[in-house]
Amino acid sequence: MSTPTDGRSARWEAHRQQRRKELVESTLLAIREHGASVGMDEIAASAGTSKTVFYRHFTDRSGLYRAIAERVDELILRDVGTALGQQLRGTTALSTLDEDPRSLIAAAVGAYLHLVERDPEVYRFIVSAPLVGAERSGNAAEAAADVTGRMALQMGELIAHALVDRGNDPAPARVWGLSLVGMVRAGADAWLDGQLGELDRDGLTEQLTALAWGGARIAWHPRG
């Protein structure tokens, strides 16, 4: 007796998730068109709907911000994963770490900066959260941290493998992963704000990689 109801519920949930995805993509388009300071009126107009519809699906501005942050997180992880996959293709992670570990760091740094260069307004929207303004606390602040947190986890795991393989304590890997991504974000923010002169993405990637590798290379040195 409950099967028809369950079927309708499943179809409605699938429709709701699809609609959320569409609204997220429309919001990204609005950000690219109007800039990081885009307002809800412009976002709704870009989607061809009303603010009420957005609030029905995301509850409030913080909910919409979190959904956008999660989508950007997916894009960063996809790009970083692709970049690292290209480095790891045809071999194992540890053998590539042995042969050319510096290039893995460069690949991850370059993938992050590629998103900044490709989608600067979306990046500004995420790191400054103008949509939520004073509401930027709790879930919204956590969403901003999540955007870089998963990339930090990826890099931390790579470093941990290298440390364990050489008989070293893997405990520093989390700190190094978080610090590496924090450094890249700080460099990206300064670059986007024009504080680094005529430095291009490749140049910034090289400089950040050199700085990171100066400390992380200890992971590839045999213990003792």
pLDDT tens digits for range 152-186: 777 777 777 767 766 777 787 778 878 888 898 89
- The reply to whether 140 and 195 lie within a common domain is yes
pLDDT band at 93 (very low <50, low <70, confident <90, very high): very low
C-alpha R_g of the chain:
21
- The reply to whether 71 and 50 lie within a common domain is no
- The reply to whether 49 and 71 lie within a common domain is no
- The reply to whether 52 and 98 lie within a common domain is no
- The reply to whether 82 and 131 lie within a common domain is yes
pLDDT tens digits, 75-87: 877 777 777 666 5
Alpha-carbon distance 119 to 81, whole Å?
18
- The reply to whether 40 and 70 lie within a common domain is no
**142 or 188, which is more confident?**
188
What total number of domains does the chain contain? 2
- The reply to whether 114 and 27 lie within a common domain is no
- What pTM does this model have? 0.76
Give the domain extent around 165: 65-220
User: For position 38, which CATH number holds?
Assistant: 1.10.10
- The reply to whether 3 and 80 lie within a common domain is no
Contact of 67 with 24, CB cutoff 8 Å: yes
